[in-house]
A and B are shown apart, each in its own frame.
Chain A
Amino acid sequence: MKTALTAAIAVALICGTSFGGLADRQPSEAAQKQIDAISAASKSNDWKAAQQAYGAIDLRVAENPVAVLQSASAAVGIKPGAAELRREIATKYWLLRKDGDPDLADTITPTVIPIVEVDTMEIDALVIDALEIDALEIDALEIEVVVTTDEVFLAKMNLWTQRFGKQIDYHDTKGRLIVPAHGSVLWRERKNLMSEIEAGGDYDALWEAYSARLRTAVERRQKLRRQR
C-alpha cells in the first residue's frame, strides 16, 4: 500500500539561494509600471507606497505571473523594513512557481500554507495510522467503530467531505469522528460508498445500507460502553 499518510501536511518553505534568469516573457506594460513604482518606493524606503504598487498588480491577467513576481521581488530588494511585503511576494511565488522556475534571490521564509497532499483520491490513501480506541476490554472482533483523532486523516476527510458535499462518518456528542475500524467489513463498505460518490454514480442504495449498519454499530458501541 502506498504510504500516502507519511507526508500529509506540507509546510511551505523556500530556501533557494541562487537567482536564475528571468523567465522568457517579461511583465506586461501595466505590471512593469507598478514594478517601477515599487522600485522607486523602495529607494526611499516608502513601504506603504511599495505595498500599494504591488497590490495594484493584477496577477490574474499576467501572462507569466512568476516573472512578474521575480521582478517585483528584485524591485523591493532585500531590506529588513520590507519584510512583510517580501514575505507576501515570496509566498505567492511559492504558490505559483512551476518545476524548473528558479529560486528567488530573497530567501525570506514565506508564510506557512497548510496543504493537504492528496495525490489521488483513491480510498487507499485514506487510511488511519493512529487510532484512539476507548479503553474497552472487549474482543478485538467486536471493535466495529472507533474514534479517531488522527489529524492527517481528519484533514483528508475534511477535504473529501467539502469536495463531494457528503458527510459519511459519525460525530459523537463531543464532536469526535467515529469511523469503522480499519479492515472491518464496515470499512470496506465505506470504501465502496466513497468510490461510488467520487464516480458520481448511483450510490443511494449503498448509502442507505452503510448508514444503517454504521448506526447499528455506533449504537452497539454505546451500549457496550454503558455496560462497562
Chain B
Amino acid sequence: MKKALIGLMIGLLVMGTVASAADAALDAYDAAAALWVAGKHTDAVTAFKQLPQDYPDAKVGILVAAQSFIGQDYFWHQKAYIEAEAVFAGILTNFPAAHAQQKLTAQTYRGLSLEKLNRPAEANVAWMAGIEDSVSVLGATNEVKGVWSVFNKIQPQLIPAARYKEFLETVIRATKATEANAAFLGRVKSELEKMK
C-alpha cells in the first residue's frame, strides 16, 4: 500500500514535470509568434531558432512550426530562396511525424522557393509530393486553399506524361471519395481522362 502511494506520487511528479516542460515550450513558441505578429521578424526568428535548443523534446508540431516561420522569413523577408528551400526540406527530412498540413506547407514553400530559383520542374515535383502525402488526411474541399490550391500550381507541361498520369492516379486513390471532395476529384479525374 505504502509502495503504491509512493509510486503514485512519483508518477504525478513526473507527469507534472513533463507537463510543465511542454507548457514552457509552448510559452516560448507563443512569445516568438507574438514577436512575428508584431512585425519584429528578426527577433522572432532568433527566438524560433533558440526554441529547439532550449526545448529539444518539445512537441513535433511546435518544433516544425518554429522551423516553418524561419523558412518563411527567408522566403518573404530576406528573399533568400536557397536558404528557404533548405529549411523546408529539413522539415520534411527531420520531422517525418509532422502533421500532414505542416508537410504540405513545407512542400508548398519548397516548390515556391525552387520556382524563384528558376527550377520549375523541381518545384512541380515538390508540389506533387506534398499532395500525394497529405490529401488522404486533409482532403481538398476549397479551390483556393490547401491541397487544391497547390494542385492548381502544377504545370503538367513540365512533367513527363507518365509521371503526371501516375500522380493523378495516386491522388484519386488517396482522396476520400466523399461529397466534400467530389469537385476536386472531378477536376483530377478530368485531367486523367484527358491523358487517355
- A residues apposed to B, CB below 8 Å: 55, 58-60, 62, 65, 88-89, 91-92, 95-96, 110-121, 159, 162-165, 200
Contacts and interface: CB of A to CB of B under 8 A. Distances in A.
Contacts of A58: 136
Given A121-B194, A162-B152, A114 B186 contact: yes
Contacts of B194: 118-121
Interface in B177-194: 177-179, 182-183, 185-187, 189-191, 193-194
A162 B183 CA distance: 14
Nearest to A117: B193
Contacts of B176: 55, 88
Contacts of A112: 182
Interface stretch (B88-96, B97-105, B167-175): B167-175
Nearest to A159: B190
A60 B179 contact: no
Q: In the complex, which of the residues A62, A96, A110, A120 has the most CB atoms of chain B within 10 Å of its own CB atom? A: A96
A111 B193 contact: no
B174 A111 contact: no
A109 to B, nearest CB: 12
B169 to A, nearest CB: 8
Given A60-B170, A95-B177, A121-B194, A111 B155 contact: no
Given A88-B177, A95-B189, 13 more contacts: A59-B173, A60-B173, A89-B177, A110-B177, A111-B178, A113-B177, A113-B186, A114-B186, A117-B190, A162-B187, A163-B156, A163-B191, A165-B155
Contact of A96 (B132, B152, B172, B179): B172
Given A95-B172, A95-B177, A113-B182, A60 B132 contact: yes
B188 to A, nearest CB: 9
A121 B194 CA distance: 8
B53 interface: no
B118 interface: no
Contacts of A111: 177-179, 182
B157 to A, nearest CB: 5
B190 A91 contact: no
9 contacts: A58-B136, A60-B136, A95-B177, A114-B183, A115-B190, A116-B186, A118-B190, A118-B194, A159-B187
B173 A62 contact: yes
A159 to B, nearest CB: 6
A173 B156 CA distance: 31
A118 B157 CA distance: 17
A162 B157 CA distance: 12
Nearest to B173: A59
Given A60-B174, A121-B194, A115 B186 contact: yes
Contacts of A59: 173-174
Query: What 3 A-B pairs are tightest by C-beta distance, nearest first?
Result: A91-B177, A59-B173, A92-B177
A162 B190 CA distance: 12
B182 to A, nearest CB: 5
A163 B155 CA distance: 7
Contacts of A62: 173
B174 A200 contact: no
Contacts of B155: 165
A34 B174 CA distance: 16
Given A88-B176, A163-B156, A115 B170 contact: no
